Structure 1
Amino acid sequence: MLDGIIMKGIGGFYYVKTDEGIYECRARGLFRKQKIKPLIGDKVCIEVTQGDKTGYIKEIKKRMNELIRPTVANVSQAVIVFAIKNPDPNLWLLDRFLLVAEEKGLNVLICINKIDLSNEKEISDIINIYEKAGYKVIVTSCKQHKGIEELKVCLKDNITVFAGPSGVGKSSILNSIQPKFELKTGDISQKTNRGKHTTRSAELMELSCGGLVVDTPGFSSLDISNIDENGLKEFYREIKKFGCNCRFNSCMHKNEPDCGVKEALEEGKISKERYESYLNLMDEISKRRRY
């Protein structure tokens, strides 16, 4: 019996990385009866077939987490990638990506790409918003190879999913981190100024700098239907932090007196953009509940 991790799955075959190499495995019928499907990223125990590099998955160990889109287990980190230009950054969408990652319990890193296309003020304005919120922000340029080495350090010893809109340069960044990947990159549509999807199916890829990355389009589902008004404030880091200073434990940080969040906003400790993002999503959740 060998311990390993599922790197990819194709047509009922699972490719499991172990200390003795990659084994092509099938899952025992027991999992089907239990309605359990092995996922990319699963830590498993396999029984090896003598004479070749094949075997059977005998045990799927307890998952730390499970993402639906992409379908992958045990992700420890999300790198949310946005471009400073081409396409222009959509901060509302960035906050939604962050919300999904926070709800899944992932460590989150924000990557602002294509910094060669912009000026320092535009870049620093966005950095200030999200560093103030409690996030680490790395700025990158694949053309100038800026920020790539710093990003490599953050990927070490993690299973990382890259997420963000199409066209922001996720595949280009991965190719800069590890050129042998040779991932297909997409052009920006001249008509819509949006990227074309280039990544198709989930697979774990090993980095020479340490760690694994999920080669997928990232979160293709930004559904927050399982988050209610009370839950929302738990997934905005700065709202949760300064909410401890509110007079009422049930404070929603809207119109209540002695609100620690609004005081922090007035003192510049919380950005106006993030607070408005919180209120807009609160309104969306409230309308959804009414209907």
Structure 2
Amino acid sequence: MRQNLLNEVNVIKGQIIKALSGFYYVKYNDEIYQCRARGNFRKKGINPLVGDFVTFQIENETDGYILSIEERTSYMVRPPVANIERVIIVMSAKEPEFSLNLLDKFLVKVESYHIEPVILVTKRDLLSASECSEIEHHLAYYTSIGYETYFVSNLNAQSYDTLVKGITVLAGQSGVGKSSFINSLIPDANLNTGVISNALNRGKHTTRHVELIPLQNGYIADTPGFSSLDLDNIEKVTLKNMFPEFIAIADGCKFRECLHINEPKCAVKSAVEAGEILQTRYDHYLQMMREIESRKVRY
């Protein structure tokens, strides 16, 4: 098959399914080609991403050069994946500890790229009944504002392959169970699940590159773990648009461009006071606003 392609035509289209050490592994039909990007990509500031549809030139039976990248429907920088349909934000109930602050930052980051987020909280079995009840209470709020949420003990207990649609990215701290989730979907993946560091309360990074793993409904992206998020692509005036419950009632604010901070007759602040908007969500909004303002001062 490879030799026939080489004889007939040497410029074809495919999709990058893995990036590692400067090489891009491009899938065409059932064949994988190890490709490098053209030198002028770097000059133009173009960086091919896993998930990109590309035109590439076949050099021999196994290698090629990427010539161009098709327009992306979406992309993220951290993790670096293009044409994403949804992001599963994986949080753990314990080890590392569940954090609403971190969850909200993940949600805001995903919303900023106009990608659908899904919330998956793992390690339920490590909590007491009262601790489980507290997390369930929080997740009920996120469900009420439109997010798909799951709170699980054993990822092997039931099938979660329906969560994967198109290119689906797993995002979350190291050690929360991303690799375990993939292993539950694809036992043959045999990904290193790592060991939690009790001293640091976070996992060691067990994934060293970005790779798309095929499933029945699309691809799941196994990506390097990370424990911090920046808001560099979000402006002060647009942050409020990353909170769906703010958008739902913003028409009730006195001022059209209300930032929901100091303005009078603000529908969002009223909803917070009435308990209709989770206080922690609003507090995290203010915290992120301060972070954005601090960034403006620095630069």
Question: Are 2:113 and 1:94 equivalent residues in the alignment?
Answer: no
Question: Are 2:9 and 1:2 equivalent residues in the alignment?
Answer: no
Root-mean-square deviation (CA), in Å?
2.3
Q: CA 1:82 to 1:13, structure 2 compared with 1: closer, same or farther past 3 Å?
A: closer
Structure 1 position 123, deviation (Å): 3.1
Q: So what's the TM-score if we normalise by structure 2? A: 0.85
Given candidates 152, 157, 164, the residue that maps to 1:155 is: 164
1:57-96 to 2 correspondences below 5 Å = 57-96=66-105
Q: Give me the whole-angstrom Cα distance separating, in 2, the residues matched to 1:219 and 1:202.
A: 13
Structure 1 position 195, deviation (Å): 1.7
Structure 1 position 140, deviation (Å): 2.3
Q: Please give the secondary structure, in 1, of the residue aligned with 2:73.
A: coil
**Matched residues, percent identical?**
44
1:84-233 to 2 correspondences below 5 Å = 84-118=93-127, 119=129, 120-142=132-154, 145-146=156-157, 148-149=158-159, 151-156=160-165, 158-207=166-215, 209-218=216-225, 222-233=229-240
Q: Please give the secondary structure, in 2, of the residue aligned with 1:230.
A: coil
Check conservation: 1:78, 1:108, Cα contact below 8 A. yes
Structure 1 position 59, deviation (Å): 2.6
Check conservation: 2:48, 2:69, Cα contact below 8 A. yes
Gaps of 5+ in 1: none
Which residue identity lines up with residue 278 of structure 2 in the other structure? S
2:48 maps to which residue? Answer: 38
Check conservation: 2:173, 2:226, Cα contact below 8 A. no
Structure 1 position 29, deviation (Å): 4.2
Which residue identity lines up with residue 196 of structure 2 in the other structure? I
Given candidates 265, 272, 296, the residue that maps to 1:289 is: 296
Which residue identity lines up with residue 111 of structure 2 in the other structure? E
Aligned residues: 285
Q: Give me the whole-angstrom Cα distance separating, in 2, the residues matched to 1:45 and 1:289.
A: 39
Structure 1 position 46, deviation (Å): 2.8
Structure 1 position 99, deviation (Å): 1.3
Which residue identity lines up with residue 142 of structure 1 in the other structure? N
Q: CA 1:288 to 1:34, structure 2 compared with 1: closer, same or farther past 3 Å?
A: closer
Q: Please give the secondary structure, in 2, of the residue aligned with 1:101.
A: helix
Gaps of 5+ in 2: 1-10
Q: Give me the whole-angstrom Cα distance separating, in 2, the residues matched to 1:283 and 1:33.
A: 35
Q: CA 1:290 to 1:60, structure 2 compared with 1: closer, same or farther past 3 Å?
A: closer
Check conservation: 2:52, 2:82, Cα contact below 8 A. yes
Q: So what's the TM-score if we normalise by structure 1? A: 0.87
Question: Are 2:273 and 1:273 equivalent residues in the alignment?
Answer: no
Structure 1 position 43, deviation (Å): 0.2
Q: Give me the whole-angstrom Cα distance separating, in 2, the residues matched to 1:109 and 1:121.
A: 20
Q: Give me the whole-angstrom Cα distance separating, in 2, the residues matched to 1:114 and 1:141.
A: 5
Q: Give me the whole-angstrom Cα distance separating, in 1, the residues matched to 2:135 and 2:173.
A: 18
Moved over 6 A (4+): none
Which residue identity lines up with residue 76 of structure 1 in the other structure? E
Q: Give me the whole-angstrom Cα distance separating, in 2, the residues matched to 1:264 and 1:54.
A: 58
Q: Give me the whole-angstrom Cα distance separating, in 2, the residues matched to 1:12 and 1:122.
A: 45
Given candidates 244, 248, 252, the residue that maps to 2:255 is: 248
Q: Give me the whole-angstrom Cα distance separating, in 2, the residues matched to 1:142 and 1:259.
A: 43
Q: CA 1:217 to 1:123, structure 2 compared with 1: closer, same or farther past 3 Å?
A: same
Q: CA 1:220 to 1:160, structure 2 compared with 1: closer, same or farther past 3 Å?
A: farther
Which residue identity lines up with residue 282 of structure 2 in the other structure? Y
